[in-house]
Amino acid sequence: MDPRALCFLSCCLLICVISAEIQERGRTLKAQRKRGLKTARPGEVKPSGAPGQRKPKSDRSQKSLQKKTPSVVVTPSPPASSILTQVLGRGHFQNVGDSLSLQAGETLELRCLGKVVHWKVPVYLEEEGEGRLRIKHFSQHSRLQLVNSTGADTGEYSCWAQHCQDAQCWEGEDRQGKTFIFFTDPEELFVPTENYYEVIQLRSNQPVLLPCQVTNPLAQVTLHREFPPEEVPVDGTDISFDVKKGFTIHRPRASLAGSLFCLASLGGVRQISTKYMLIYVNYPSSSPKPTIQASATSVQLGENFNVTCTVLSEPEIAVDFRWEYPGQKLGRPPYVSEWTNVVRQRGQVLRLGKARASGAPVPKEGPQNHCESLRPQDLFLKDVCP
């Protein structure tokens, strides 16, 4: 038989088998619809909108179970309260926030939970000793009381509790509390200090703080120069202000040196703070780096050769060179020439005339500056050839 005819007959037979199977499935589906899906499993939920379908009894029981079962609502746990609270009255307490404002003259009373509690208060109160500040320790908490408060008491108050077991005690981050308290005084806008002038080093390698703290967080504070009298711009990047600390100079520069002060204004009252005498001190960003190199590794007797020492440093840093070489004790004078390149490079050349066979020459140099002494750099030359 022809292969093509055989292939055609096979395809026809396959199509007939598939058609018969589809018809059989259609008959079965119609029969199930007529019986109302009696063969459905108990507890199955039929899709809504199907004509001629009844809801099985198991649906009612399912609904009753759903009504009886209460829904569980997961609520986030409240944040852990601080161990530091303010005592408002007998049995009345409130958690303290990041800051707190009280009028000068009011009594401050704080409570800190814990068996072993330590307190930290502004330095002004620590130096005062026993008097207006009273601290009492109890079995489960400690109490701090400050009477006759003044604007000078403005600052950070903190406490921490220790966990103790037997004879060992340790601290935990969850057992700490702190708050910054302003004692507002209309006659004292700044926290008073003893000094009229305060000298501060304006170092080029680190931020500088001008500690003009205010007693009222609502006071408007600006920074001024005394000579010439002008306001110093505060952009938040080079210079920023924090009501709890004062002005911070993040990028010190020589133009900010001189006498500066803070000016506070509130309700028609204007006051100036302590005057800060800023002295600019330039610190190099990195230590000078010396390198040494000879014009030749070996020379003939009587020939001249050069030894060059190069130091990479900032242009305003002074560099001094010091040489040590063979024959120096015999009185052989060196011929030294020095040069400077503005690309942060400075060097010095040592010329030694009429080389002599005096063992292994070891020229040494030790560049130094006013900030840091550097290790000497050694250069070893080969024996002088005859």
CA dist 146 and 119 (Å) reads 13
pTM higher than 0.75: no
Asked whether residue 144 carries a pLDDT value surpassing 60, the answer given is: yes
pLDDT at 123: 84
- Of all residues in the chain, the percent with pLDDT exceeding 70 is 67
Query: What mean pLDDT do residues 1-6 have?
Result: 67
One-letter amino acid for residue 187 of the chain: E
- To the nearest whole percent, how much of the chain has pLDDT over 90? 29
Q: Are 40 and 46 in contact (CB under 8 A)?
A: yes
- Residue 292: enclosing H or E segment and its boundaries? strand 289-294
Rg (CA), the chain: 44
Decide: 56 and 41 in contact? Cβ < 8 Å: no
- The pLDDT tens digits of the residues spanning 59-113 come to 444 444 444 444 444 444 434 567 888 888 777 888 888 899 999 999 999 999 8
Question: Interior CA angle at 192 toward 191 and 196, to 5°?
Answer: 130
Q: How much is the average pLDDT of 263-287?
A: 89
- What is the CA 332 to chain-centroid distance, rounded? 58
What pLDDT score does 272 carry? 94
Weakest-pLDDT range from 110-119, 205-214, 264-273: 110-119
Which is more confidently placed, 341 or 207?
207
Instruction: Indicate whether 268 pLDDT > 50.
Output: yes
Q: Are 177 and 110 in contact (CB under 8 A)?
A: no
pLDDT at 236 over 70: yes
pLDDT per position as a tens digit, 174-191: 578 899 999 999 889 999
Among residues 102, 221, 111, which one has the least CA distance to residue 150? 102
For 335, half-sphere exposure in the C-beta direction (CA atoms, 13 angstrom radius) is 7
In the three-class reduction of DSSP (H, G, I as helix; E, B as strand; rest coil), residue 75 is classed as: coil
User: How far is 35 from 57, CA to CA, in rounded Å?
Assistant: 16
Q: What is the pLDDT of residue 333?
A: 66
Q: Provide the pLDDT for residue 266.
A: 93
Confidence of residue 321 (pLDDT cuts 50, 70, 90): confident
Q: How far is CA 297 from CA 263, 294, 300, 324, 384, in A?
A: 67, 7, 11, 18, 9
Whether the pLDDT of residue 318 is over 90: the answer is no
Q: Give the model confidence (pLDDT) of 334-361 as tens digits.
A: 677 776 666 545 565 555 554 454 444 4
